Amino acid sequence: MQSQRFYPPAHFSNAAHIKTLSEYTERYQESIQNPDAFWAREAQRLTWIRPWDTVRDVDFHDVRIRWFAGGQLNVAYNCVDRHVQRGLGQRTAIIWEGNEPGQSRKISYQELQSQIEHFAAALRGLGVKKGDRVCIFMQMIPELPVAMLACARLGAVHSVVFGAFSAESLRDRINDSCCKILITQDTGVRGNKQDIPMKAKGDLALRETPSIEKVIVVKRTGATIAMQSGRDIYLHDLLAEAPPSCPAEPMDAEDPLFILYTSGSTGKPKGVLHTTGGYLLHTALTHELVFDYRPEDIYWCTADLGWVTGHSYIIYGPLCNAATTVIYEGVPNYPDFSRFWQIIEKYKVNLFYTAPTALRALMREGDGWPGQCDLSSLRLLGSVGEPIKAPEWLWYHHMIGQGRCPIVDTWWQTETGGILISPLPGATPTKPGSATLPFFGVEPVLLDPSGKELHGEASGLLCLKSAGPGQMRTVYGDHERFKQTYFSQFPGYYFTGDGARRDEDGYYWITGRVDDVLNVSGHRIGTAEVEGAIGMTAGVAEAAVVGFPHDLKGQGIYAFVTPMQGIHGSTDLEKAIKESVRQHIGSHATPDKVQFTHGLPKTRSGKIMRRILRKIAENEPDAIGDISTLADPSVVESLIAERK
Ligand code: 7RM
């Protein structure tokens, strides 16, 4: 089937950074054939304290990734100070839109610089220095980016933990990287929830985190919370005692910038480590070219700062480019389904970047909500987090972009630091559902399961031969695990965990994960973690978790659970299972469906055949195929009969 094509409007291309497909192709070729020259030129957009010795030292066999070695710079200086020095101090850096309509704050670059310096000075006063790890557990409030950038200013490594994670998840993340400080807030507000216990969750986590010395608490709501004397201190009290200024620490290009935990198919979440020079260059360059960012644009990415999209495309990329970036505390449907569109109208947002899961939820509520808002400021729309399918792509195009705005469907991962496959909006014709072509410096390949490279039109496992300067450098504290996870299946290639198809035009269509990682409303969840949490429920013998297609979430979580001998699969047990997942992981990982069963489909050697469970969960029993290798083939029949 020939899919519909959408060409960049002429008025857009004429003014764009990259205006034609041949211009894209030319620069792409250069980036692959002569990467040193390409990246050395692009790196001029950053302000370096000391120039680099070597542009690139990358080897996917030995698994060594180094960019701009010998160079020195500071990320906070690049994102803020230098703009102020160039006379942009009065430009708005951050527009903060609170949960309640009418509640907002604008922070200029000048103000942001003062706040970062002051916060950094306060951290320094607590003994934080270059290389120390600082955990940040907050909702979307202005103090969160200030805290991140204060860490970057000092050379401390931040580890932001998404606010919905449980106390246990927070504890494990703090311990894995031995954080010295926790920065949190009293309570949070999001949609109808007016008292999300942040500090209280922190307190629970901190019962078992020997490395934490101090807790900094931002007063967001003024709720009464417990403060442990000697350990906990309110930010405003700390700032009252701290000097106003703090120099930016010169950092090596390969010094760590942050750790962000992400789920894989096995084991505990991995601490993805990103470094200073390459990461900042990749996020700044992609932010400029993929969103066709121009000075004075109002840019809004709706992601949460607890995920990589928030790090790279709310904070680091946009601020490095001196953009005005919107940060929204609330949810898309509060107080009603027009909120996103109201915010676009209110701030005259030009560039809007969101996730398919949000689009599906809003699309379902009808055209009246966007219809009542003035969306004429929009120039470009972006999508990230999961495959965007034709219906929501077309709705986005017609209803939100009013047929005028190119859509960039951007494929990337926590591990890649920034966008790797995406249209360039002035140059690349788009097809709904395809992320199209690789960004500069990125060489995607499709492999068959034996590791053979597929050419031309093909479907296979998406791997990378090269990934540009923003790619993760290691798993924090465990380089062996980094090699094992990403480079061992196919030596010499980085394996993404995704499957993809390449069409007759060389366009990539990401089909989703081929490993045991789920994508639920754009949240990445490992099935092994959910199974572990279910297994800790009293009365549960065994659990297997798979994904199933979900209208709103993209994927839902389907749990098959075997109760202990003599225990019945009751609604009480189901409740306890869900509670256990919330307690051990967080509310975003709660199973949508729980099916009790007396047995799971296993091979004679005892391996659970997830392929079969997936087909049952997807309600495609006819596609189950051969079950003769099962120890007890009869379980399949009862699983199908009792499907939820
Ligand atoms: C940025 C982010 C990564 C996984 C990735 C894919 C899926 C992300 C797209 C997509 C199809 C896209 N980081 N994914 N973007 N699939 N089209 N445009 O989401 O680490 O949280 O998730 O998300 O499966 O491997 S992440």
Instruction: Report pLDDT digits (tens) over 188-236.
Output: 999 999 999 999 999 999 999 999 999 999 999 999 999 999 999 999 9
The confidence score (pLDDT) of residue 606 equals: 83
Decide: helix, strand or coil at residue 373: coil
Q: pLDDT tens across 341-353, in order?
A: 999 999 999 999 9
Q: Which of the listed residues 411, 414, 472, 475 should we mutate to test ligand 1's pocket, taking the one with most ligand atoms within 8 A of CB?
A: 411
Non-local CB neighbours of 359 within 8 Å, separated by 6+ positions: 383, 388, 392, 395, 396
Over residues 303-323, the mean pLDDT reads 98
Is beta strand 214-218 parallel, antiparallel or unpaired with respect to 232-234?
Answer: parallel
The confidence score (pLDDT) of residue 644 equals: 85
CA of 496 to the centre of ligand 1 (A): 10
With contact defined as beta carbons under 8 Å apart, do 334 and 362 qualify?
A: no
Residue with CA closest to ligand 1 atom 16: 386
- Does 607 have pLDDT greater than 90? no
> Rounded to an integer, what distance in angstroms lies between the CA atom of residue 576 and that of residue 308?
31
Over residues 479-490, the mean pLDDT reads 97
Residue with CA closest to ligand 1 atom 26: 413
CA of 628 to the centre of ligand 1 (A): 35
- Does 244 have pLDDT greater than 90? yes
Non-local CB neighbours of 601 within 8 Å, separated by 6+ positions: 608, 609, 612, 613, 627, 630, 632, 635, 636, 639
Over residues 579-600, the mean pLDDT reads 96
CA of 432 to the centre of ligand 1 (A): 16
> Rounded to an integer, what distance in angstroms lies between the CA atom of residue 283 and that of residue 417?
7
> Rounded to an integer, what distance in angstroms lies between the CA atom of residue 121 and that of residue 563?
54
> Rounded to an integer, what distance in angstroms lies between the CA atom of residue 374 and that of residue 371?
8
Exposure class string for 519-541: b at 16+ Cβ within 10 A, else e:
bbbbbbbbbbbbbbbbeebebbe
The confidence score (pLDDT) of residue 2 equals: 60
Q: Is 452 exposed, middle or buried (0-12, 13-18, 19+ CB in 10 A)?
A: exposed
CA of 561 to the centre of ligand 1 (A): 28
Ligand 1 atom closest to 496 (CA): 25
Percent of the chain scored above 70 by pLDDT?
100
Q: pLDDT tens across 63-109, in order?
A: 999 999 999 999 999 999 999 999 999 999 999 999 999 999 999 99
Ligand 1 atom closest to 410 (CA): 18
**Gyration radius (Cα) of the chain, Å:** 24
pLDDT, the chain, mean: 96
Q: pLDDT tens across 433-467, in order?
A: 999 999 999 999 999 999 999 999 999 999 999 99
Q: Which of the listed residues 272, 290, 384 should we mutate to test ligand 1's pocket, taking the one with most ligand atoms within 8 A of CB?
A: 384
CA angle 271, 314, 75 (to 5 degrees): 70
CA of 60 to the centre of ligand 1 (A): 22
Over residues 116-145, the mean pLDDT reads 98
Q: Residues with beta carbon inside 6 Å of ligand 1?
A: 262, 307-309, 384-387, 409-414, 435, 496-498, 510, 512-513, 519, 524
CA of 513 to the centre of ligand 1 (A): 9
CA of 384 to the centre of ligand 1 (A): 7
With contact defined as beta carbons under 8 Å apart, do 264 and 270 qualify?
A: yes
Residue with CA closest to ligand 1 atom 5: 413
Enter the DSSP assignment of 498: E
As a residue count, the chain comes to 644
Amino acid at position 223, single letter: A
Over residues 358-367, the mean pLDDT reads 96
Report the 10 Å Cβ neighbour count for 642: 14
Nearest to residue 270, comparing CAs of 297, 237, 308?
308
For residue 208, what are its two tokens? Answer: 């078992």
